[in-house]
Amino acid sequence: MPQVCRVRPAVNAAACCALAALALVAAGAAKDAHAGALRPQRFVGVAAQPAQSAVPGSEPSEQPSPAATESGAPQPPLPQQSGVPEPQESVEPAAPAPIVISPVSAQVVLGHSVSVHVISPPSGLLSLSGFDANIVRAVFNPIERSIDLFGLRAGSTTVTATGESGVSATLSVTVLTYAGKASNSASATITGNPASADFVAQTAAQAAKLIAYPEPGARVLVDSTQVRQAHQLPANNASTVLVPLSITGPGYAPYNQTVSVRLTNLAQPALPPKNLLVSDFPETIVENGTLFYADVNFDDPARLLYYHYAAARSITRRVLVKAQNSGVESSLVMLISGIAGPDPNILSIGHESTKRFLIHEAAGEGQIFEVPPGATINVVDQLLPAGNLVSGLMQMRVVAGDGVRVAVVVQNADETAVEPISDTLLSSAVKHARGIYQVPDFFYDVSYAVGADPATLTIGKLPLPNLVQGEVLGGDYGVKQSAAITLLNSTPRDARVGMWFEPRGGRATGTFLIDGRLVQLHPVGVGRPALMRTFIVPARGYRKINIVTMPEGGSSYPVRVTFASDPPPNGGWNMSSAVY
């Protein structure tokens, strides 16, 4: 309603109207304050009018004119309130910030700490609840805006983080133990003339693996190609290399360690073995126990061949080669070895084992182990999963101290690996070679004249008698075959002579060192002679060739090696695709 100015006797009517005008201004300001930021404001100054003196009989003053701006222009009259309130616009309160944690799950290693970042809210406190305090210690860090976790016991739990507004989020926490542990240093004594960089790396990797201790169900992983600082090591020199090692397994935290391995190359003479020890019975493993054992003494070096297969549905087992010292002094045992597997490929496993052994034996590359008095150590430790094979060739010599008993043992993969040797041997209805054989090396001297009938060398033709009760050794597996070949040419022109590889009873692979150079053959079938090499013999001259080979486990031997100036039946002058 319009404001009415009522004149009281003691109050000047002009003053009353001025007060009414000021009230209207105040009402307009209040209205604008409610509108807030909803519409722009314009503030207009109103010039104050001096009040007339309230003297009886004075005339009422005129209504105040609108105030002028600084420019002198008159302002419009102030709006009059109608008395009806205008609608007010409501402002919704802001939603509380969500709890955002990154990541939303965390793995903590037992005895170690992990921090999880709190992304939202950017300030304020969080309370943590709902978790198992026996598994993890959880603390909110308001400075770093993180949830700090410390693993107390293996297990899983959930942490609920609640903000000051009542909003919450959950964090899944799993505390894991390491899959194992390992020392940070190891050492090994090796031989070699010199020891190649590859052999240094391989031996260092094995030495690192021996000081790793996995938890049940975990595996030790070492890759010799990742060994750092490995180089050729001459005899009577030492070097240190770095071996990355990891241990992994389901339900465990991965364990990683870099092992520093110190290798010393100790010069040793090359002495031939006197006996061949063979463990190929039972060939198929169906139970645990001792597969073979024999004694190796200072004056009786020996070569050990083992070749074993796990049935398709059997449990995962472990094949160990043990050395046991029953004497009162420590023994030093030198081993030159070629180990292969596990692998389901019957031909490949024997080939790899033979190749590695011949390479190491030619270079004198071996390792020297100490066997303390009354102790048993594992010199080879191989997993044998179902449907796989393992094979090994090892030349052994006691360098110092008492003799040792050497055994091939099979056990469950999760059993304690170091146990004394049992003298009870496993058996089977399917007979294979197991025993001691007296002739571990064969030597041949063969000559061929250009144009004459082919000269042949038959590898694996002589069955060896067993010095203990058991089967004879057919195929000469594990017997090194060395041949000196002389090629003669009486003609006035240079002549070409070929060397062919021909299995006689079934598919066979081959490994040859021809004048020290490695030549390998993929499986070759019967009746398909594979040309391995050709040699040019000078006119009215000769050429000498030295060959080293060995029958390979899983292959069908004997194999005939032919030297001739004309190809054998079904042979040719094209180099066989089996050769590499």
CATH architecture of 441-564: Sandwich (2.60)
**Where along the chain do its domains lie?**
1-75, 100-176, 180-265, 275-437, 441-564
Instruction: Classify 354 in phi/psi space as left (phi over 0), alpha (psi -120 to 50) or beta.
Output: alpha
pLDDT at residue number 428? 76
pLDDT at residue number 83? 57
Output DSSP code: residue 450: T
pLDDT digits (tens, 9 = 90+) for 559-580: 999 999 999 999 999 999 999 9
CA R_g for the chain: 47
**Spatial separation of the C-alpha atoms in residues 157 and 133, rounded to whole Å:** 9
Same fold, 100-176 and 275-437: no
CB neighbourhood size of 19 (10 A): 13
**Tens of pLDDT, residue by residue, the chain (580 residues):** 444 444 344 434 444 444 444 444 444 444 444 444 434 444 333 433 444 444 444 444 444 444 444 444 555 555 555 555 666 666 777 788 999 999 999 999 999 999 999 999 999 999 999 999 999 999 999 999 999 999 999 999 999 999 999 999 999 999 999 999 999 999 999 999 999 999 999 999 999 998 999 998 899 999 999 999 999 999 999 999 999 999 999 999 999 999 999 999 999 999 999 999 999 989 999 999 999 999 999 999 999 999 999 999 999 999 999 999 999 999 999 999 999 999 999 999 999 999 999 999 999 999 999 999 999 999 999 999 999 999 999 999 999 998 999 999 999 998 876 677 888 888 876 777 899 998 889 999 999 999 999 999 999 998 888 888 777 888 899 999 999 999 999 999 999 999 999 999 899 999 999 999 999 999 999 999 999 999 999 999 999 999 999 999 999 999 999 999 999 999 999 999 999 9
Helix (H) and strand (E) counts for the chain?
A: 3, 34
**CATH for 180-265?**
2.60.40
**CATH for 100-176?**
2.60.40.1080
Residue of 343, 273, 310 whose CA lies nearest to 550? 273
C-beta of residue 276 within 8 angstroms of C-beta of residue 464: yes
Determine the Cα angle at 354 with ends 351 and 359, to 5°. 125
DSSP 30-83: HHHHHHGGGS-------PPPPPPP--TTPPPPPPPPPPB-TTSPBPPPPPPP-S
pLDDT digits (tens, 9 = 90+) for 406-423: 999 999 998 876 677 888
Overall size of the chain counted in residues: 580
* Element containing residue 526 per DSSP (H, E): none
pLDDT at residue number 416? 75
**CATH for 275-437?**
2.60.120
